[in-house]
Amino acid sequence: MIMMDRIHGFLMALPEPLRRSLILKLQRTVVWFRNGSQIVALPCSMHLLRGYTAHQVCVDEASFIRDDEALFYGVLYPMLSTTRGTLIASSTPWGRESVFYRMNQDPGFSKHVVTWREVVEAGLVEPGFIEEMRRTLPAERFQMEFEAQFVEDADSYFSQDLIARCIDAELEPYDFEDQPSGEFYAGVDFGKRVDYSVVAVVERAPNGGLRLVHIFQFPLETPYASVIGYVKTLSDRYHSIQGVYADQTGVGDYVVEDMQRSGIPGVEGVTLTAQRKAEILGLLKQRMQEGLLNIPYDPDLIAEINLEKFELSREGLIHFSHPEGTHDDRLWALALAVYAASRQMGPIQVETGRIPRS
C-alpha cells in the first residue's frame, strides 16, 4: 500500500489533461489505464496472489517474506512465465537464508545497490541526518539500513533468519479501541526515564501457537498509573485476557499490587534475575524455532529482537545485553506475554545453560 501511494502521487502530479488521457479509473489498490494495462497492489499472501499473470512484478522488502521459496518459485515466477516478464526484488539486507540473499549472490541477476551516498547526492536527505544516524544507531544496523550490507553480529541471541521466519505479512494487529474475542495474554515492561514502558498482547491461534496482536510503547516519563490504566482498559475490551505478566524488577511489588487492585485479571509480577531472563528469552526462542510464534512486520520490534546480545558466564548462565543507545523494551514485553501464555500450558522446559542457535 505504501508503494501504491507513491504511484498515486506520481500520477496525480501529472497535468490533468495528460492524466485523464492515460487513466481510465483509479482506486486504492488498482489503477486501470485506457490502453488496457493495470497496476495492482497485492498483499504478501499465497492464496491472494495466485491466478494473476503479470508483465512485471515488484516485490518490496523481499528479505522479510516467510516461506519465500514457495512464494517466488511457486507463485511469482509462474506469473511471469507466459509473458517473459521481469521481476524486481528490493529490500533492506536481512539474513542469509533467504531467496533475496541468493539472488544477490547469483551472477545471473542484475544487482543495484543504493546507499546513503546516493540518497544524499539526490538531495533527499541532509548529510547531518546521516551523521546523526551513524552516531545513534548500532554499527550493524547502520550498515544494513544505510550501507545496504548483509551484516549479522555473531553475538545476537536471535538470528535474522529465525526472526524472518516468524513474520506474518497477513497479521493485522488489533487497535486499542477494538473489542476482539479470543484467548489473550499480556506482557508489561515498565520503564520511565531511561527505558520505555511497553505493553504487548499475544493471542492463542487455532493451531496452538501464538501471534502478537497488539504492542504499544509509551513515551518516556509516562506515569506508571497511565500504563496500568491502559492495561486495565485493554483487559476490559479484549475479552478473555487470561494472564498479565509484568516486570517488577526496577519498580517493586507495589506496581503489581496496584494492577491487581485495579481489577486486571491474572496479574503476576516477574523479577528478572539472570536465571529468569535466560528462562524467559530461552522460551521465546524455543517458540520461534518451533514455528509457534507469529509477529507482524514491525521494523522497530524486529531490530530490537535482533540486537539482543548474549554471553555465557563461567557459571553456565546466559547474560543478556543490548548495545549502548538502544532499547529492548518491546522485546521484553513480547517475551513476558509469551511466557504468560506458556505458563498456562504446563511445565516449561528450557535448557537455560545451553545456547540454541538458528
What is the arithmetic mean of pLDDT over 256-263? 92
pLDDT band at 250 (very low <50, low <70, confident <90, very high): confident
Cα–Cα distance for residue pair 26/28, rounded to 1 Å: 7
Contact 335, 308 (CB under 8 A): no
Taking 60 as the threshold, does the pLDDT of residue 356 lie above it? no
pLDDT band at 352 (very low <50, low <70, confident <90, very high): very low
Give the per-residue pLDDT at 344. Answer: 62
**Please, which residues bridge with residue 269 across strands?**
246
Taking 60 as the threshold, does the pLDDT of residue 277 lie above it? yes
Give the per-residue pLDDT at 67. Answer: 86
Cα–Cα distance for residue pair 274/62, rounded to 1 Å: 37
β-pairing verdict for 56-59 and 38-40:
unpaired
Give the per-residue pLDDT at 312. Answer: 79
Contact 286, 339 (CB under 8 A): no
Residues 6-34 have pLDDT tens digits of 999 999 999 999 999 999 999 999 999 99
Cα–Cα distance for residue pair 284/33, rounded to 1 Å: 48
What is the arithmetic mean of pLDDT over 124-151? 91
What is the arithmetic mean of pLDDT over 203-213? 93
Taking 80 as the threshold, does the pLDDT of residue 181 lie above it? yes
Taking 50 as the threshold, does the pLDDT of residue 200 lie above it? yes
This prediction has a pTM of 0.77
Domains in the chain: ranges and CATH: 116-147 (no CATH), 160-343 (3.30.420.240)
Query: Rounded mean pLDDT of the chain?
Result: 89
Contact 212, 201 (CB under 8 A): yes
Residues 79-136 have pLDDT tens digits of 999 999 999 999 999 888 899 999 999 999 999 999 999 999 999 999 999 999 998 8
Q: What percent of the chain has pLDDT over 90?
A: 66
Q: CB within 8 A of 119, min separation 6: which ones?
A: 125
Contact 226, 218 (CB under 8 A): yes
Give the per-residue pLDDT at 136. Answer: 85
Contact 3, 62 (CB under 8 A): no
Q: Which three cell numbers, joined as nine digits, stand for 150?
A: 548483509
Q: Is the dihedral of CA 144, 296, 216, 257 positive or negative?
A: negative
What is the arithmetic mean of pLDDT over 177-191? 94
Can you say whether residue 18 is alpha, beta or left, with left for phi > 0 and alpha for psi between -120 and 50 degrees? Answer: alpha
Q: Which of 333, 347, 306, 356 is nearest to 137 (CA)?
A: 306
Q: Which three cell numbers, joined as nine digits, stand for 299?
A: 521494523
Question: Distance of CA 153 to CAs 83, 150, 160, 235, Å?
Answer: 42, 10, 10, 38
What is the arithmetic mean of pLDDT over 163-189? 92
Taking 80 as the threshold, does the pLDDT of residue 57 lie above it? yes
Contact 212, 171 (CB under 8 A): yes
* Helix, strand, or coil (residue 328): coil
Amino acid in the structure at residue 177: E
pLDDT band at 351 (very low <50, low <70, confident <90, very high): very low
Give the per-residue pLDDT at 347. Answer: 44
Taking 70 as the threshold, does the pLDDT of residue 358 lie above it? no
Amino acid in the structure at residue 325: G
What DSSP element (H or E) covers 332?
helix 329-343
Nearest-Å Rg of the Cα atoms of the chain is 23
Cα–Cα distance for residue pair 57/88, rounded to 1 Å: 6
What DSSP element (H or E) covers 32?
strand 30-33
Q: Which of 338, 334, 333, 358 is nearest to 348 (CA)?
A: 338
* Helix, strand, or coil (residue 271): coil
β-pairing verdict for 239-247 and 267-270:
parallel
Cα–Cα distance for residue pair 95/338, rounded to 1 Å: 24
pLDDT band at 349 (very low <50, low <70, confident <90, very high): very low
Residues 295-333 have pLDDT tens digits of 999 988 999 999 899 887 766 778 898 888 889 999 999
pLDDT band at 285 (very low <50, low <70, confident <90, very high): very high
